[in-house]
Structure 1
Amino acid sequence: QMELDRLAGRLPYRPGGPLAWARAVGELLGGRSGFRGSAADYQRLDSSLLHEVLRRRRGLPILLSVVWMEVARRAGAPVYGVALPGHFVVGFGAAGEQVLADPFDGGRVLTGPDAELLVAGATGAPLRSSMLEPADPLDVVLRVLNNIRAWAAVRPERSDVALWAVELSLVLPSHPARLRYERAQLLVQRGDFVGGALELDAYAELVSAVDESTAEQVRGQAQAARALLN
């Protein structure tokens, strides 16, 4: 909080329109403060933790974008996140005058072809206008937690991190129901067989209304988890 406030205090007072804001924030954060990312940051958990991103000045696109949004918002900028497929950026201004900037690339202002290339590289599909709409803040939080879950998924020894991210995701008012199943599996993996079995039972009850065969399989997994207590 204090660091975000401090950085916001270094921005010029109302520098102008969306492009002026993008350049001012980029000069401060990407230039003088050194916020940016690299391929190596995708392998680090601290690239998805805000306090570590503020300390290291390095992070994933979405966390760097959060820094940009929070600093610029404090200074009065018309800023928001833009969840391009595979690469989160920030936007300034309304649709008719929107300017995009890429915090991961030090705040480079994106042209239309730049944005099209980012989307094509991630999906192979063309850029659609709906992709340029402001991201919902809760979706941003869920996407950050998804990144943490993905990091932990390939590191079985860090099931503690995976469980932490899943449980935070479940606190959000809107989340995928399958996270309940993922939490149950993690509990069993970590030796909480009773808690995992109860969560599996709850998930089976949830899905039984639409897929009874899947529900029956999950009930079997709950029974197997309880058997591990013997």
Structure 2
Amino acid sequence: MSRENPRDRFAAVVRAPDVDLAEAALLMGVEVDAEFDPAEGIAELERLAAAVRARVGPAYDVTKAAEALALVLGGRARFFGQESDYADLRSSLLHEVLRRRRGLPILLSMVWIDVGRRAGLPVYGVALPGHFVVGIGDPDGEFELADPFHGGVPLSVSRARELAAAAGGHPGDPALLQPARPTAILLRVLNNIRAWAAQPERGIEGAWTRLWAVELSLLLPRHPAALRHERGSLLARTGQFAAGAQQLDDYADLVARIDPKVAETARGEAKAARARLN
């Protein structure tokens, strides 16, 4: 794997025509551990994929593929999650999920997606409201759903729609069970990290975590413009007053025509940040 700057590599991966979801997620690990080599995570994913390939064999159907993934990942390797994982940042970092075999639904699904891809199986993410699962097969034809958070148990379409409705979604939405875009998956992971880090008890360390999560989000080809405002605020909070003020002014320029009040607020925050330079 390339030894180029991790941020530059992340930007290249997420803007490639065929996004390597796992590599992008593993590069997030460098943000918390500068010594981590993403190649270690790739090697583990390859090892798991080899075990799945050996179980499936040369000929398979959708059901057999789903069963093989559940046996290897949910059974033998013991990938699963529980409620306490939501309070642990490691549950949102792929290299830690591969090490601990524990994680949030979206990270465990990412393991299934990448292992399936490496094993030659059609596995894709399904972004339900409030939950994340995987589909195996053809989303417009024959497919099965599985829930990696619960060890890969099968999930019926009707149950998936019930989960969506319980979380405030629209169970009849025709796009509900369609494959999630890799960049949308990555943004959702980064949003989870930002939400974790924004809790008051995280203090200044949480601000630094939010900052790198925001900065990686801004490297994605699609991202909310408001992240630029958040970045400016976080730069100021972490003591980078000049850079924060400049980002806040840039954001104000961006939104001035659309929302003058928001722009005015951002300029006020920029002024306050510059005042702290004195």
Q: TM-score, normalised by structure 2?
A: 0.80
* 1:73 aligned partner: 117
Q: How far is the alpha carbon of 1:199 from its aligned partner?
A: 0.4
Contact 1:115 1:127 in 2 (8 A): no
> Which sections of structure 1, spanning at least 5 residues, go unmatched?
none
Cα distance in 2 for residues equivalent to 1:68 and 1:114: 20
Alignment partner of 1:138 is 2:183? yes
Cα distance in 1 for residues equivalent to 2:214 and 2:75: 35
**CA distances 1:47-90 after superposition (whole Å, capped 9, x unpaired):** 00001000000000000001011111111101111111111111
Contact 1:33 1:57 in 2 (8 A): yes
* 2:152 aligned partner: 107
Alignment partner of 1:204 is 2:252? yes
Query: 53-62 or 13-22, which moves further after superposition?
Result: 13-22
* 2:141 aligned partner: 96
Alignment partner of 1:177 is 2:225? yes
* 1:18 aligned partner: 62
How many aligned residue pairs are there? Answer: 230
Computed over aligned residues only, the root mean square deviation of the Cα atoms, in angstroms, reads: 1.2
Cα distance in 2 for residues equivalent to 1:192 and 1:97: 53
Alignment partner of 1:223 is 2:271? yes
Cα distance in 2 for residues equivalent to 1:74 and 1:124: 32
Q: How far is the alpha carbon of 1:18 from its aligned partner?
A: 1.5
Change (3 A) 1:204 1:51: same
**CA distances 1:84-114 after superposition (whole Å, capped 9, x unpaired):** 1111111011122121100001001101222
Cα distance in 2 for residues equivalent to 1:57 and 1:116: 27
Contact 1:84 1:132 in 2 (8 A): yes
Cα distance in 2 for residues equivalent to 1:119 and 1:174: 24
* 1:156 aligned partner: 203
Cα distance in 2 for residues equivalent to 1:144 and 1:127: 25
Pick one of 213, 218, 234 that aligns with 1:186.
234
Give 2:48's aligned amino acid.
L
Cα distance in 1 for residues equivalent to 2:135 and 2:59: 16
Cα distance in 2 for residues equivalent to 1:77 and 1:14: 11
